[in-house]
A = this chain, B = another copy of it.
Amino acid sequence: MTADPTRFILVEPSHPGNVGAAARAMKVMGFVDLVLVAPRYADVLTHPDAHAMASGATDVLAAARIVSTLVDALDGVSYACATAMTPRDFGPATHAPRALLPSLATSTHRIAFVFGSERYGLSNDDVYRCHACLSIPTAPGYGSLNLAQAVQLIAYEWRQALGGFAVEPRTAAPTWADGPALQGLLDHWQRVLVELDYLDPAAPKKLMPRLLQLAHRVGLTTDELNILRGIARAIEKRTATSPPGSGTSDPRY
């Protein structure tokens, strides 16, 4: 995997567990450049909680840097997105990630995403150092995202904007039954249902069209169609040897 140069910056993170979880959240989306600004614990990158939450992403922690100001963290970055709302007085405009990131993905900027501390978020001064504000749309009245989960959502949306990863199917694509095969099944079941006294040929009502609609909605594979024909054959065998009139007593359709 070629790592994307996108940088993730955590400003004054308090909880080592969150730093580890953020590293994992980045790595599952293919990002590895992590910079911490003035973390609460100087040894956060080697803290046991950070390692436990990083799971297989301890390489991201090992390669992370610690700097003392946001300006230091922005070396080489030409466009920084604050995960924050625009300050009340003024500042970069606030966007939903899905509204801004696609256009940013086609730019030639070197991008950073900047996250504030768990308790206080980002200071206005740090937001002013960014080019845009990103706000993850959350429920009115409860917008409290955990830091690592905010990192996860932004990393995911950014990866999607960059073209995404494929979902590789593990199983072969099924062979879908075609129209004539389906009609053959329906004709077979119609004979069986008449034999079972469930379908009255003199008053068929809408039974067969209803079963056809059900089959269309389900979308049968050829394997499944063969199972249903096998069941129909098994009923035919049994009814051929049963006394007439011993079929189902289910209520009619």
A interface residues (Cβ-Cβ under 8 A, vs B): 1, 21, 24-25, 27-30, 53, 55-57, 85-91, 93-96, 98-99, 135-146, 148-149, 152-153, 156, 159-160, 164-167, 169-171
B contact residues around A91 at 8 Å (CB): 171
- For A149, give the chain B residue with the smallest CB separation: B152
B contact residues around A164 at 8 Å (CB): 96, 137
The contact sample of 18 A-B pairs, CB cut-off 8 A, is A1-B139, A25-B149, A27-B139, A29-B138, A53-B146, A86-B169, A86-B170, A86-B171, A87-B171, A88-B170, A95-B167, A96-B167, A136-B156, A137-B166, A137-B167, A146-B148, A152-B152, A153-B153
| Docked pose: A111 CA to B141 CA in angstroms | 24
B contact residues around A1 at 8 Å (CB): 139-142
- For A24, give the chain B residue with the smallest CB separation: B146
Interface contact A94-B167, CB-CB below 8 Å: yes
| Docked pose: A207 CA to B137 CA in angstroms | 43
Q: Which of B25, B90, B144 contacts A55 (CB 8 A)?
A: B144
| Docked pose: A85 CA to B166 CA in angstroms | 13
B contact residues around A88 at 8 Å (CB): 170-171
Interface contact A30-B139, CB-CB below 8 Å: yes
| Docked pose: A152 CA to B25 CA in angstroms | 11
- For A21, give the chain B residue with the smallest CB separation: B146
| Docked pose: A156 CA to B145 CA in angstroms | 11
Answer whether A139 and B171 are a contact pair too, CB < 8 Å, given A146-B21, A153-B153. Answer: no
B contact residues around A86 at 8 Å (CB): 169-171
